[in-house]
């Protein structure tokens, strides 16, 4: 269950992130925490422009125009002026983004300059939601589960085998002006152990449901690589079960059964049905790979 001698099962963690952080600071913080700086990633130009236009929305109506080419997206900016008896609208400019080059243009020089300034600013920083997703991605990359302990999220149980990653997360969050709060969960309190087991069982059951939903369209004609990915997901569920079996306690049996059922459902979908010929001999239809992209 754990290799610690103090009976620690894991930690409950919750974190706070700042409203924005520059990409340079973010990369440096990841490196300081011995995490991959490239996890900072890059925002797609489409999202960067959307954030820039959101900053320009005051007093304007901004509407996306029909995309004339697959490489360009355009928005019309319309001034909105409230009069005594009516609201007047006046076309101001069209802002366009080349999705390949990332270059922003507009048919009004002032609007173009402002849009480019804001695009540059947003490309160089990450906001609260970006930072929260990044923390979650760090745990995903290390195959370390964040098990929600409340329906609204925001607080998670992290099994003790990932305690080093919790420490790295604390260093990272501190370096960007955030904070990680953690609370040790130890053996000795039956109510606590039971609550942790229930949260982990609920988490694994949700993963199994998602797995079964991903297999809904699988047939004997599905591509081999698609089937292999589903088999890999089933194996990953098995790995998680074995990893957390000690914490799950009696709940492990139900999880084991649920995984068995899901695997059998997948197997039934990909194995050709058995039929018999007129002489009573059994034979199997030969599966073939579906020719698709």
pLDDT attached to residue 292: 39
Average pLDDT of each block of 10 consecutive residues along the chain (293 residues)?
Answer: 61 92 96 95 92 93 87 93 86 93 94 96 95 93 86 81 94 96 75 76 90 90 90 90 83 91 89 55 43 36
Q: Does some domain include residue 223?
A: yes
pLDDT attached to residue 130: 95
Phi/psi of residue 109, nearest 5 degrees: -55, -40
Single residue among 125, 141, 175 that ends a domain in this structure: 125
260 lies in which domain range?
191-270
Q: Does some domain include residue 165?
A: no
Q: Does some domain include residue 26?
A: no
Single residue among 75, 105, 125 that ends a domain in this structure: 125
Q: Does some domain include residue 208?
A: yes
pLDDT attached to residue 281: 52
Domain tally for the chain?
A: 2
Q: Does some domain include residue 37?
A: no
Q: What b/e string do you get for 218-236 counting C-beta neighbours within 10 Å, with b at 16 or more? A: bebebeeebbeebeebbee
| Element at 136 (helix H, strand E) | helix 128-141
Q: Does some domain include residue 96?
A: yes
- Quote the CA–CA distance of 88 and 81 in Å, as a whole number: 5
pTM of structure: 0.70
Single residue among 106, 125, 144 that ends a domain in this structure: 125
pLDDT attached to residue 189: 60
């Amino acid at each position: 269950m754990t290799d610690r001698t103090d009976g620690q099962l894991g930690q409950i963690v919750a974190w706070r992130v700042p409203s924005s952080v520059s990409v340079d600071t973010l990369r440096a913080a990841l490196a300081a925490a011995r995490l991959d700086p490239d996890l900072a990633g890059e925002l797609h130009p489409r999202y960067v422009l959307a954030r820039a236009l959101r900053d320009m929305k005051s007093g304007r109506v901004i509407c996306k125009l029909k995309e004339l080419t697959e490489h360009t997206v355009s928005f019309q900016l319309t001034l909105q002026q409230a009069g005594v008896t009516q609201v007047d609208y006046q076309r101001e400019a069209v802002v366009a983004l080349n999705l390949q080059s990332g270059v922003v243009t507009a048919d009004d020089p002032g609007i173009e300059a402002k849009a480019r300034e804001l695009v540059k600013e947003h490309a160089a920083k990450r906001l609260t939601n970006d930072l929260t997703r990044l923390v979650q991605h760090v745990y995903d990359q290390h195959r370390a589960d964040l098990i929600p302990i409340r329906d609204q999220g925001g607080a998670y149980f992290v099994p003790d085998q990932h305690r080093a990653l919790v420490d790295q997360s604390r260093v990272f969050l501190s370096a960007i002006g955030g904070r990680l709060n953690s609370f040790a969960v130890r053996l000795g309190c039956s109510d606590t152990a039971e609550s942790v087991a229930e949260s982990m069982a609920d988490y694994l059951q949700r993963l199994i449901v998602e797995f079964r939903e991903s297999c809904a369209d699988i047939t004997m004609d599905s591509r081999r690589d698609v089937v292999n990915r589903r088999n890999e997901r089933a194996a990953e569920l098995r790995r998680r079960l074995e990893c957390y079996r000690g914490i799950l306690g009696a709940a492990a049996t139900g999880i084991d059964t649920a995984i068995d059922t899901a695997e059998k459902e997948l197997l039934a979908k990909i194995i050709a049905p058995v039929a018999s010929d007129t002489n009573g001999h059994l034979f199997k239809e030969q599966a073939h790979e579906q020719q698709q992209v």
